[in-house]
Structure 1
Amino acid sequence: MAYAIGAVLIAALAAGCTGGGGADDPGADDKPGIGSESPAPPGKYRTLPDACRAIPRATLKDLLPGTADLPEAQQDKAFEGAATVTYDTDRRIGCRWKSDAPQGTRGIHLDFERVVSYDTSVSDDDRAREVYAKKEGAADLPAPTLPDQSPDASPSGSDTADPGATDTGTPDDDPTDGSDGTDGTGTPGGPASDAPADSLQPRLLDGLGDSAFLDDVLTRSGSTARYRTVSVVFRTSNVIVTVEYTAQPALPTEVPDSAELQEKAQALARQLVDSFDE
């Protein structure tokens, strides 16, 4: 009889330990890291295109004046570009092109960066947003002009005839700054472009990938010559693309046309983002 009572007691204790603790029980101890959380999704892109083949030949002819006049063999060499040295072409790849013409030098630098997150709780896209945000912050873009704010009232006193320019070490009486009766581009008369000066400032861009910005920097090369670099940086999913378009006129008194370079750099960036969507 004592044996039977003991057996019933043991069975009851066993039932109390195993019952009411199923997966649907809100009080169940679901420990993190043991199948409770799925890893963050990977990025859309697992590979990168060949940067030196990313720009159509017709586009290169337009961006690199003078190359179309070269013999075919020299054209082929100019258009094939020079690959950027990287240690992992699956993560980063780039290419450079350059042309020398009587009117000056033009250069293109294209960079593709595929961002991968090594934190399972952070997606590749989120990590790419962080990398892009750092690039945008480093560009130090000016605050956008408010609708009721005149660009001429800018507290920085920058020369609106040369928007987006960062002139290093240029004296106030530099003859290329417009004080000699030119428009700042070495061309007497009106402005180099009909575009409003504030619309050519470094700025965020709409409708280009997931996010994008444009930077425009004018610097000095040597004693008097200037060159301008227009950069367009955009993110599409977990890939960040940088387009740099540079011009240096043959005459030191000329300043590269900001409007022309910006227009062509943006057109190239739009071609590239469309190729990612194909």
Structure 2
Amino acid sequence: MQRRAQREQPERAKRLTRVLVCAAAVPVMLVATGCSSDSGPDDDGGEKAASASASASPSPTVQAAAYRTLPEACRALSKKTLEDLAPKAKSGKEGSSDDVASRASCSWSSLDNNGVKGSQFRWLNVSLLRFESDTTRGPGDKLAQEYYDKQVREIRATPGAKGLNAQAVTGTGDEATAVRYDLKKKEGTFKQQTVVVRVENVVVTLDYNGAGLAGDKTPDAAALLADAKKAAKEAVLSVTRANGPAAVSGSPSAPASGRPSAPASKAPSASASGKS
């Protein structure tokens, strides 16, 4: 019996060990299960909250541009104005553009030959550039103002300009600047007048220069400037008329889908314009 008791003792010890191991494993499983149950709903709810927040964010909007088109550049000035400023010009030369509703230009060259007394040269150019509102770059009138400021700075920095003078022009568009200067060339002294105007989201640049060639007298700069201001005001009016009574500003719009218009093309070369 003693030997039998000795054999049963190790077996009871083994059974006790198994019971203790199983008992220890139960709390571990409960803890693991509890952590898993607590974390699931929070993660799910966080994702749903983030998704709801993203869907609630409003789409970006930008104020609509006031003007949606441009007039035909070669018809931006009246026949009477063209006869006064470029009397010998047969017709206007339209500038190249891949989108005439956003960018257009036209130029007129006039040479009044007076024989042995010389000749009077005139060159007139009108450039129209329209900016569209864009959700990333801003409203069209703001983009037009930035371009307007850049144009004025570049004109004031014209190489070789003599006696340069810049002045604000009132009563024309939302803002306007006239810049005048002389350029001396082998043919004579050219009197250059440039008027830059911003009206809403459109920038109008009007260039007008004149020279007395082959011994003819130099034209009066003040008279040329007065003509240039008059023509610029007329070009601005043509922009307004081209857009009709529906052109209104200050109304909010849906997100803009169009891209801003391309930068204006450069004016004709010096050989054609007499500007340098």
TM over 0.5: yes
Q: CA deviation at 1:140?
A: 3.2
| Cα displacement string for residues 165-194 of structure 1 (whole angstroms, at most 9, x for unaligned residues) | 9339xxxxxxxxxxxxxxxxxxxxxxxxxx
Question: Which residue of the partner structure matches residue 162 of structure 2?
Answer: 167
Q: CA deviation at 1:122?
A: 0.9
Question: Which residue of the partner structure matches residue 65 of structure 2?
Answer: 43
- Identity among equivalent positions (%) equals 27
Q: Distance in 1 between matches of 2:79 and 2:220?
A: 23
**2:81 is the alignment partner of 1:59:** yes
SS in 2 for 1:202: strand
Query: 1:102-251 to 2 correspondence within 5 Å?
Result: 102=114, 103-120=119-136, 122-140=138-156, 166-167=161-162, 201-222=165-186, 225-251=188-214
Q: Distance in 1 between matches of 2:71 and 2:63?
A: 22
Work out which structure has the larger RCO, using CA pairs closer than 8 Å and 6 or more positions apart in sequence: 2
Structure with higher helix content: 2
| Cα displacement string for residues 55-98 of structure 1 (whole angstroms, at most 9, x for unaligned residues) | 11111111123x3xxxxxxxxxx343110122332221111111
Q: Which runs of 5+ in 2 are unaligned?
A: 1-40, 242-276
Question: Which residue of the partner structure matches residue 173 of structure 1?
Answer: none
Q: CA deviation at 1:36?
A: 1.7
Q: Distance in 1 between matches of 2:56 and 2:129?
A: 33
AA aligned opposite 1:139: I
Q: CA deviation at 1:43?
A: 1.1
Q: CA deviation at 1:53?
A: 1.2
Question: Which residue of the partner structure matches residue 96 of structure 2?
Answer: 85
Q: CA deviation at 1:30?
A: 5.2
Q: CA deviation at 1:202?
A: 1.7
SS in 1 for 2:97: coil
Asked if the contact 2:212/2:218 (under 8 Å) is kept, the reply is yes
Asked if the contact 2:62/2:134 (under 8 Å) is kept, the reply is no
Q: Distance in 2 between matches of 1:268 and 1:104?
A: 19
Q: CA deviation at 1:139?
A: 3.0
Asked if the contact 1:225/1:253 (under 8 Å) is kept, the reply is no
SS in 2 for 1:244: strand
Q: Distance in 1 between matches of 2:161 and 2:137?
A: 41
Q: CA deviation at 1:255?
A: 3.0
SS in 2 for 1:231: strand
Question: Which residue of the partner structure matches residue 232 of structure 2?
Answer: 269
Bigger radius of gyration = 2
Asked if the contact 1:225/1:248 (under 8 Å) is kept, the reply is yes
AA aligned opposite 1:232: V
Inter-CA distance 79–122: structure 2 relative to 1 (3 Å threshold): same
Q: CA deviation at 1:119?
A: 3.8
Question: Which residue of the partner structure matches residue 245 of structure 2?
Answer: none
Q: TM-score, normalised by structure 2?
A: 0.60
Match of 2:106 among 87, 95, 100: 95
Asked if the contact 2:176/2:198 (under 8 Å) is kept, the reply is yes
Q: Distance in 1 between matches of 2:189 and 2:215?
A: 7
Inter-CA distance 80–238: structure 2 relative to 1 (3 Å threshold): same
Inter-CA distance 120–242: structure 2 relative to 1 (3 Å threshold): same
AA aligned opposite 1:53: R
Asked if the contact 2:120/2:216 (under 8 Å) is kept, the reply is no
| Cα displacement string for residues 136-162 of structure 1 (whole angstroms, at most 9, x for unaligned residues) | 222338xxxxxxxxxxxxxxxxxxxxx
Inter-CA distance 30–272: structure 2 relative to 1 (3 Å threshold): farther
- Mean Cα deviation higher: 259-268 or 115-124: 115-124
AA aligned opposite 2:91: E
Q: CA deviation at 1:217?
A: 2.1
Inter-CA distance 127–271: structure 2 relative to 1 (3 Å threshold): same
Asked if the contact 1:60/1:79 (under 8 Å) is kept, the reply is no
